[in-house]
Chain A
Amino acid sequence: GENVEQHPSTLSVQEGDSAVIKCTYSDSASNYFPWYKQELGKRPQLIIDIRSNVGEKKDQRIAVTLNKTAKHFSLHITETQPEDSAVYFCAAPSGGFKTIFGAGTRLFVKA
């Protein structure tokens, strides 16, 4: 079946450094790629998304890049802050009705 692989599973960075999380997907028909942030004990919340008609999208310190040929997309966080510490999930559509989520990346930002 369709799947979404996410790497790394854990990422530790120093405050102020950049963090990059990568996801690969298998459904070549996918054309919408959201990223969700989940703080400890909270709900997942959408932080940024990208559609297949663009290669990059930025929102302040976060950006997402998409390579449709290679079927991967990445989340980039610059100038990381302690409040960026959370679990980040990528997702991609599957079969038109369903969304498949990656297994998540736990990001630690050390002050």
Chain B
Amino acid sequence: NAGVTQTPKFQVLKTGQSMTLQCAQDMNHNSMYWYRQDPGMGLRLIYYSASEGTTDKGEVPNGYNVSRLNKREFSLRLESAAPSQTSVYFCASSHTWDSNQPQHFGDGTRLSIL
């Protein structure tokens, strides 16, 4: 019973490199989310997908793109990495787009941009 699986767990990039973070869930959830977590700032929403086929910007979308590949998978892409994107990235899912539902998180990807 894997829940939400993220890959990779750790990554170091150089400024300007590109990278795709992968996320998959096996709970048949409709909605998926990408957050970044920085010290003292909680979890900030980057992008979300309310349902398969839709994506929308969150609080901090600049510098990122997403793809909802199918119901299970939601990827986050950094086209040209910048040091300000050094963070821990969490993918999450919930049963519906209704924000009155609990979210289930992956283990996170620790990303460092040099």
**A residues at B contact (CB < 8 Å):** 6, 9, 31-32, 34, 42-46, 49, 51, 89, 93-99, 101-104
Contact = CB atoms under 8 A, between A and B. Distances in A.
Interface of B: 35, 40-45, 48, 50, 56, 58-59, 90, 97-108
B45 to A, nearest CB: 6
Q: Could you say which of B45, B97, B102, B106 has the most chain A C-beta atoms within 10 Å of its C-beta?
A: B102
A98 B42 contact: no
A43 B108 contact: yes
A43 B45 contact: no
A51 B42 CA distance: 22
A5 B66 CA distance: 29
5 contacts: A42-B107, A97-B56, A97-B97, A98-B45, A101-B44
Main secondary structure on A side of the interface with B: strand
Given A89-B42, A89-B43, A98-B45, A44 B99 contact: no
Contact of B99 (A6, A89, A99): A99
Contacts of B41: 103
Main secondary structure on B side of the interface with A: loop
A99 B90 contact: no
Given A44-B90, A97-B50, A103-B41, A32 B105 contact: no
Contacts of A49: 102
Given A89-B42, A103-B40, A103-B42, A98 B108 contact: no
B76 to A, nearest CB: 16
Given A89-B42, A89-B43, A104-B42, A96 B108 contact: no
